[in-house]
Amino acid sequence: MAQPRRTSKQSKQTGGTFLGIVLGLIVGLAIAVVVALYITRSPSPFVSKVAPPPADNGASQPQQFDPNRALQGKTPGQPVPQA
């Protein structure tokens, strides 16, 4: 007669998914902290190192450029009555 085969006991895999999620979150957080520190500590290329020229107090100020001047008519428009 045939004897029943004995199978070895399989090892249990407990906590694999949860452990993977937790380790992934920890590694991702560590990478984010390192990148944030690197960005904040590095010199910014957008900082203007040239000092602006000193303003003359007695000189007349140049007029501000009005980009909408070409759109305006020669006479001001009539105000709209309030309802």
Residue at 33 is within a domain? yes
pLDDT of the residue at 25: 98
Identify the domain containing residue 30 by its residue range: 18-43
pLDDT of the residue at 59: 56
Residue at 35 is within a domain? yes
Cα–Cα dist 36/44, whole Å:
14
Predicted TM-score of the model (pTM): 0.42
Residue at 4 is within a domain? no
Give the count of domains, the chain.
1
pLDDT of the residue at 55: 67
Residue at 23 is within a domain? yes
Residue at 26 is within a domain? yes
pLDDT of the residue at 57: 63
Residue at 71 is within a domain? no
Residue at 32 is within a domain? yes
Cα–Cα dist 17/23, whole Å:
10
Residue 3 token pair: 């004897």
Residue at 34 is within a domain? yes
pLDDT tens-digit readout, 23-57: 999 999 999 999 999 999 988 888 777 777 776 66
pLDDT of the residue at 31: 98
Judge whether residue 78 has pLDDT over 60: yes
